[in-house]
Amino acid sequence: MSEIKVLLVDDEKEFVNSLAERIEMRDLGSKIAYDGEQAMRLVQDEIPDVVVLDLRMPGIDGIEVLRRMKKQYPKVQVIVLTGHGSEKDERMAKELGAFEYLQKPTPIEQLTKLIKRAYKERVEDTMVAATFAEAGDDATARQTYARSKKSKD
């Protein structure tokens, strides 16, 4: 598997730096943003495959980052990883297109598997739609992409 580009967004610097090291030890590339504004700037420079996003941050909170990210970059998979979320937050995150919603602490093995699954689904959806498009069947390509997007909601 090629290196998956992961963006970690959390204002707890010690936590996110440690998480980045642990993810990189598992052959996943990662970048770090310490707040929502920085995350949105980084995404403009290089679109990640998967974003691991905290909810409670100063400035732009995680829900707003998720909303903007899915609007501007709908193919980016977003995993919410929070220590202070609620059922209401989880419902909102899923409605906005979060791939998954997790509570801290989450075992690194579970998070790593989830990152890989999110990436795999993103790539597979793109490949299936591209196959139809290459065959000249643009309508089916659009339907395939729309159906795969709805099945994740």
- How do residues 114-141 score in pLDDT, each as one tens digit? 999 999 887 766 555 555 556 676 665 5
- Please state the domain extents for the chain: 5-118
**Are the CB atoms for 52 and 111 separated by under 8 Å?**
yes
Dihedral of alpha carbons 56, 72, 51, 101, sign: positive
Instruction: State the DSSP code for 79.
Output: E
Indicate the average pLDDT of the chain.
85
3-state class percentages of the chain: helix first, strand second, coil last, to nearest 5? 55, 15, 30
pLDDT recorded at residue 63: 95
Model confidence, pTM: 0.81
CATH superfamily of 5-118: Response regulator (3.40.50.2300)
Q: Which residues of the chain have pLDDT under 70?
A: 1-2, 124-135, 137-153
Q: Which amino acid is at 38?
A: Q
